Homo-oligomer: A and B are copies of this chain.
Amino acid sequence: MKIGIIGTGHMGRALGTGWARSGHAVLFGSRDRAKAESAAAAAPSARAGSFAEAAAFGEVVLYTVRDVLPSALLGRADALDGRVVIDCNNRTLGDDGNPSLFRFDRPLPERSSAEIIAEDCPGARVVKAFNTIPSPVIELPRERLASHGVSVFVGADDAGAKAVVIGLAEELGFIGVDAGGLAHAHLVEAAADLLRLEIGPLGRGPYATLSLHVLPEA
């Protein structure tokens, strides 16, 4: 599968590298060519390009840029048409450099990042996923990760797009958990805030995870 990665921060690099290792064709797109090339150099057979090149390349596009709408970032509203667009973002809380100072006592936003992106790109097949997964967890070897049964909550209105992303999560060693439609993405984003509270201010560290497990009844 052809996967475009928009943004070469921790999440873009971790997921793009993981999928390149699984054999997918990955193009890392950045505003800064050197960053895209550095990301691509660390992943097997990956390419480097601009944001627009990543959008054009991918059947699946991972969107990791916060607080900037795709239509603004890419200069047009139809650049993601027909693509499975994964929104892995959570609300901005402050300086990413010091998550232990993030404040989680503010009310949750009324609308989810996923719904805002879907409204901005009506032709895209938007999927909420990976926003509850810290990037160091993504970088764990697949076999070791798989032994922990970590959930990736996957929300989408498009059932086919949801199935594609569940498959991409499971290739990395996660368990894909259907989290309903985009109208429920605000709950997945809120759950990520609980996890980020634990990771940062409460000191559980970047290998903390939040998972759904169905217990055996008897």
Contacts and interface: CB of A to CB of B under 8 A. Distances in A.
Interface in A181-217: 181, 183-184, 186-188, 190-191, 193-195, 197-198, 201-202, 204-205, 207-217
Contacts of A197: 179-180, 184, 187
A137 interface: yes
Contact of A195 (B140, B186, B212): B212
A94 interface: no
A104 B180 contact: yes
Given A215-B148, A215-B207, A177 B198 contact: yes
A95 interface: no
Interface size bucket, A side?
A: 35 or more
Interface string A61-104: 00000000000000000000000000000000000000000001
Contacts of A194: 153, 179, 184, 187-188, 190-191
A204 B214 contact: yes
B137 A184 contact: no
Contact of A186 (B108, B180, B183): B108
Nearest to A205: B214
B215 A209 contact: yes
B210 A214 contact: no
Contacts of A177: 198
Contacts of A150: 213, 215
Contacts of A207: 214-217
A137 B104 CA distance: 29
Nearest to A178: B202
Interface string A142-155: 00010010100100
